[in-house]
Amino acid sequence: MRHASPFSERIERVVLAVIGIDLFLQTAETQGALAHLATLFFWAGVGIWFVYTVEWCVRIRRAEDWRKYAFSFIGIVDFLAILPLWAFTGFDLRVLRAFRLFRLFVTTAKLATRTSAVAKLARAFRFAMDEAGALFVGTSIIVITAGFGMYHLENGVQPEVFSSVYDGLWWAVVTLTTVGYGDIQPVTAGGRILATVAMFAGIGVIGSACGIMADALREAAAAEKAG
C-alpha cells in the first residue's frame, strides 16, 4: 500500500480545514441577521476559491502523471471548485450568488473525496454493483407494474387523483420507498389489495438493499485490511 508523504498529509489537513470553513460560511451567510456581513462573506468566498486554486495547481505540479489526477474524480471536483472564480471576471456578487448551490455541491463533494469513510462506501458500491443492478431492475419492474395497475384500478373512481399513469407511478415510488406521503391513495378494494402487496414489496426492497450494502461494506473492509 502506498503511503502519502508528510507534505501531502499537510495539504490534506489544510484543505479539510478550508472546506470546513467554507461550509460554515455558506451556512452562516443564509442567516438574515448576518446580512450586513455580505461583503465579508463575498471576499471570504473569493479567498477560499484562491486557496482551492493553489491546491489544484500544487497537486497538478506534484502529480506523477498530471493527466491521471486532472481527469480523476477528485481532480474534476477540485477543478469545478475553482471554475466559477476564473470563468467570471470582475467578481460580480450577483453572478457568484447564482453559484451558491453549485459551490455547496462541489464543497461537499470535496469533503466526501477526502473522507476515508466515503472512500470505503464507494468501494462497497463497486463490490455491490451486480447485486444492486439486479435489485434496481427488479424494483423498476415492481414500480411499473404497480403504477400501471393502480391507474387502471383507480382512474374510473377518482380520475382527478389518478389522472394518468404518471400519477400511478408516483404513488408506486412513494409506496415502495415506504415514504407514504398520503397525497394520493386508493379507495377501491382492488386498489387497496394492490397497495398492500406494494407495501410488503417495499419492505422487502429496503431490506434487500440494506443486506447488499452490509455485505459489500464487509468485503470493502476486508479488502482494505488486505491492502
Residue 184 has what pLDDT?
87
Quick one: which of 108, 118, 195 has its CA closest to 149? 195
DSSP 30: T
SS3 of residue 116 by DSSP: helix
Residue 93 has what pLDDT?
47
Task: Spell out the domains of the chain, with CATH numbers in brackets.
Answer: 6-114 (1.20.120), 127-226 (1.10.287.70)
Is residue 121 packed enough to be buried (19+ CB in 10 Å), middle (13-18) or exposed (0-12)?
middle
Residue 94 has what pLDDT?
47
Residue 1 has what pLDDT?
42
Tens-digit pLDDT string for the chain (227 aa) = 445 566 667 777 787 788 888 888 878 887 888 888 888 988 888 888 888 888 888 888 888 888 888 888 778 878 877 776 665 555 454 444 455 556 667 777 777 766 666 667 777 878 888 888 888 899 999 999 999 999 999 999 999 999 999 999 999 999 998 887 888 889 999 999 999 999 999 999 888 888 888 888 888 777 767 76
Contact criterion met (CB below 8 Å) for 49 and 85: yes
